[in-house]
Amino acid sequence: MVGSGLCIGCGGCAAAAADGAMAWDRYGTWKPAGAFAAERSAAFALRCPFSPAARDEDAIAAERFPAAPRATALLGRHESTWVGHVAEGAWRGTGSSGGMVSWVAAELLRTGAVDAVAHVVASDSPRDEGRFFAYRLSRDAAALRSGAKSRYYPVELSAILREIRATPGRYAIVAVPCFAKMIQLERARDPVLRARVPHVLGLFCGHQKSARLVDSFAWQLDTPRDRVRAVDYRIKDAGRPANWYRAHLTLDDGSARAEDWWHLADGDWGAGFFQNSACDMCDDVVAETADVAFGDAWVEPYASDGRGTNVVIARTPLIDGLIRAAVAEGRLALEEVDAGFVEATQAAGFRHRREGLAYRLTWRRWRGGVAKRKRVAPAARALPLRRRLVYRGRAAIARWSHRLAWLAARTGRPGLYLRWARPALALYRALAWSHGRLGGWVDRLLPDAPRR
Ligand SMILES: Cc1cc2nc3c(=O)[nH]c(=O)nc-3n(C[C@H](O)[C@H](O)[C@H](O)COP(=O)(O)OP(=O)(O)OC[C@H]3O[C@@H](n4cnc5c(N)ncnc54)[C@H](O)[C@@H]3O)c2cc1C
C-alpha cells in the first residue's frame, strides 16, 4: 500500500498490530513504521481503506444504514440533508463553518450517548511533540470547543484506537471519509470496537494535505518554522466571505503573522499542493460510511457569509432525531434541503472524484488492481483536452510540491520551492479558469475547452 502511493497514513493497521507504529515520512505524511510495516497479510489488506481487497463504501453503508430511506450516487445512503448553523451558544463562532460538528459531538456527550469524543486538537508543544495537531479524547463541552476548527494537517488514529480498545466506554470519532471507512472496516472485524464506537462523525473532504503546508506558510510569512507555536488554516472573520481563507500563525513570543490564501504561492486549495497521493484514488467526498457528515455550504448566499454555514447529511435515525428536536427547540438554525442542494455545494470535489478519478484510472500508474475496485469506471475518451490538462496539472503539482518543499527544507532554501510554486499555480489557473490573460492564451491554444 505504501509503495503504490495508496497509504493515507490513518494508522488503522498500526493500531491492530502488536508492534505497530506510525512515523513521519520525508514529505510530512504519516506512514506505518517498523517491522510490522513489511508484513504482507490478508488481514491488513481487508482493513486498509484504500486496499482493493477491502469492502467499498457502498457495501459498508448498506450494512451500516440498511433502512436509510434515501440514497443518491454522490451522497450515499441517508435520512435527511440540511443547511444552516448552530443557533445556541458560541459553537458557530468557534467552529470553522457553522459549528455543527462540535455541537453534535457535545450533544452526544450531554445526552450520555458517548463518554468521550476523539477529535483533532492543537499540540500543547509542537516542538516537543513533533506535530502541530493530533487526535485527543475530549470528555466535556469545553474540551470539545477548544478542539474546534478544521486542521488541514496529517493526523493518525493508532494511539486513540489502542486507547479505545483498552478502556471500556462509548466513544464517537470525528473523521475524514477514508478514516471513517477504516473505522467501519475495523468495527466490522472487532466486536470491542463495534460496541465502543457507536458514532462516527464525518467531515467532507477535498483532499488531505501534508505537514509541509505549515513550512510553506512559515516561509512565506518570513518566520522560522521552529518559532511557530500554533497554526490556524482559516481564521474566522464574520466581515469577509467564508471562502476567503486567511492563514494565521502564532509565534513563540505571542506575536502573530497572517496572510490571505490568494496571496500565497500555493494558496489555491484545488490546485493540489501537498496533496497525499492516496487522495487521487478516493471516490468519497461526503464520508458515506459516517453516521453523520458535515461540510461547508459552498454556494451563495452562504459562501459569502463569513460567520460560516454547514451542510449536514444525517444517516442514522438517532442523529436525524437529535437534529430535528434541536431545530424545533430553536437551538439549531437548520433548514431541510434536498440532496441536490448538498451535491451542488461540493461540485468541484465531485468533479475531481468522479470525472477526474475516471481519467486518473486510465493512467499507467493507477491501472491494475485498484482500478477494478473503484466505484468509478476508467474513462478518458470523452474528456476535453483542457480538463485532462487540469487533472494532469493537479497531479504534477501534488507530486512536485512534496519533492521541492522537502528539498527546500533540507537545504534551508525556501526559494527552491517558492520559485517553482508561483508559476506552477499561474499555469494551473490558466488551465482551470478561462479568464485572465494566460487563460485567454490557453483558450486560443485549446479551442475545444469548455468554459466554466
Ligand atoms: C482535510 C479536510 C478537508 C476538508 N475538505 C472539505 C471540502 O472539500 N468541502 C467541505 O465542504 N468541507 C471540507 N472539510 C470540512 C470543513 O472544513 C469543516 O470541518 C466542516 O464544515 C465542519 O465545520 P464545523 O464548523 O461544523 O466544525 P467545528 O465545530 O469547527 O469542528 C470541527 C471538528 O473536526 C475536528 N477536526 C479538525 N480537523 C480534523 C481532521 N483533519 N481529522 C479529523 N477531525 C478533525 C476538530 O477537532 C473538531 O472536533 C474538510 C475538513 C478537513 C479536515
Say how far apart CA 75 and CA 63 lie, in whole Å: 16
| Nearest CA among 50, 431, 95, 30 for reference residue 270 | 431
Between the CA of 451 and the centroid of ligand 1 the distance, in Å, is 31
Give me the pLDDT at residue 39, please. Answer: 77
pLDDT at residue number 40 = 76
What is the per-residue pLDDT across 120-156, written as a single tens digit (0 to 9) for each?
999 999 999 999 999 999 999 999 999 999 999 999 9
385, amino acid identity? L
Q: What phi and psi values does residue 294 have, to the nearest 5 degrees?
A: -130, 140
All cell numbers assigned to 40: 504482507
Q: How far is it, in rounded angstroms, from Cα 102 to Cα 116?
A: 12
Which of 29, 85, 101 has most ligand 1 atoms within 8 Å of CB, for mutation? 101
Structure confidence by residue, pLDDT tens digits, 424-440: 999 999 998 765 555 56
Which atom of ligand 1 is nearest to 100's Cα?
26
What does each C-alpha distance from 421 to 20, 116, 249, 372, 441 come to in angstroms? Answer: 36, 42, 21, 34, 20
Q: Per-residue pLDDT for 445 more than 70?
A: no
Task: Enter the pTM of the model.
Answer: 0.96
pLDDT in tens, 386-428: 999 999 999 999 999 999 999 999 999 999 999 999 999 999 9
Does 295 have pLDDT greater than 70?
A: yes
Please say if the pLDDT value at position 44 is more than 90: no
**Distance (Å, whole) CA 191 – CA 369:** 30
Comparing C-alpha atoms, which of 419, 340, 372, 326 is closest to residue 100?
326
CA distances from 76 to 34, 57, 238, 344 (A): 37, 8, 32, 15
- Indicate which residue's Cα is closest to atom 48 of ligand 1: 148
CA–CA dist 261, 95 (Å, integer): 19
Which of 54 and 450 is assigned the larger pLDDT? 54
